[in-house]
Amino acid sequence: MIATPLCIPEVVLIEPKVFGDERGFFFESFNHRQFEDAIGRSVEFVQDNHSKSIKHVLRGLHFQTQQPQGKLVRVVQGEVFDVAVDLRRDSPTFGQWAGAHLSAENKHQLWVPEGFAHGFVVLSDTAEFLYKTTDYYAPQFEAAIAWNDPDIGIVWPFEGEPILSAKDSVAMSFSDYVSNK
């Protein structure tokens, strides 16, 4: 496995070692010891999630105000552009974002630590997205920041308008998040 910190060093791109031949391929999609070595700390995952979305669906930027979740994310069908936004107020990268293309073809994974908002947009006709979380989903603490907030300035790799959930279409601005804490 190759672990590469992105422009926000705590957000880590994981590239598994893939063994392939004419029959297909094999790789370890998760090895706890190697993962903890790669990110430099202990982690316990408590929940696995699986979603399927159509092209131009944008989910996020989601986070929990309490019970924050670290997420190890990957795509098993299709392709997405995945984003993490630093919401840690004491961080030198507060309000900045890091992103990566994740696909069934490249088999890359992204570690999004606790204290980050997370989102992705589907670039293929459909995509199936899997992720492990370090804490349980807590709807009473769920929140979202607008995907297109100008203060964050994410450069999403698609044109036009995304398909959003009702919740994501009324997500707060980053400045509202900053003033609410």
- The answer to whether residue 62 is catalytic is yes
- The answer to whether residue 118 is catalytic is no
What CATH number does the domain located at 45-180 have?
2.60.120.10
Condensed to tens digits (0 to 9), the pLDDT of residues 73-83 reads 999 999 999 99
Condensed to tens digits (0 to 9), the pLDDT of residues 58-106 reads 999 999 999 999 999 999 999 999 999 999 999 999 999 999 999 999 9
- What residues does each domain of the chain span? 45-180
Condensed to tens digits (0 to 9), the pLDDT of residues 7-56 reads 999 999 999 998 989 998 998 899 999 999 999 999 999 999 999 999 99
Q: Supply the pTM of this predicted model.
A: 0.95
Catalytic residue among 62, 108, 118, 177: 62
Catalytic residue among 32, 101, 118, 131: 131
Q: Mean pLDDT, the chain, as a whole number? A: 96
d(CA 181, CA 174) in angstroms, rounded, equals: 11
Question: Which phi and psi angles does 165 have, rounded to 5°?
Answer: -75, 165
Whether the CB-CB separation of 49 and 136 falls below 8 Å is answered with no
